[in-house]
Amino acid sequence: MNELVLTLGWLGIYAPVALGAAASAIGCSIAGQASIGAMLETEGGYGRFVGISALPSTMVIYGIVIMFTLNREVTPANAGGLFGVGFMSAISLYYTGLWQGRACASAINAAKEKPEIFGLSLAPAAIIEGFAVFAFVFALVISAGIPS
Contacts of 35 (CB under 8 A, 6+ apart): 49, 50, 52, 53, 108
Distance in angstroms (rounded) separating the CA atoms of residues 146 and 99: 30
The region, left, alpha or beta by phi > 0 then psi within -120 to 50, assigned to residue 45 is left
Report the CATH architecture of 2-143: Up-down Bundle (1.20)
CA distances to 62, 67, 74, 111, 122 from 98, in Å: 14, 20, 30, 20, 15
Query: What is residue 67's predicted lDDT score, i.e. its pLDDT?
Result: 98
Query: What is residue 99's predicted lDDT score, i.e. its pLDDT?
Result: 98
Residue ranges of the domains in the chain? Answer: 2-143
pLDDT 10s per residue in the chain (148 long)? Answer: 799 999 999 999 999 999 999 999 999 999 999 999 999 888 878 888 999 999 999 999 999 999 999 999 999 999 999 999 999 999 999 999 999 999 999 999 999 889 899 999 999 999 999 999 999 999 999 999 999 8
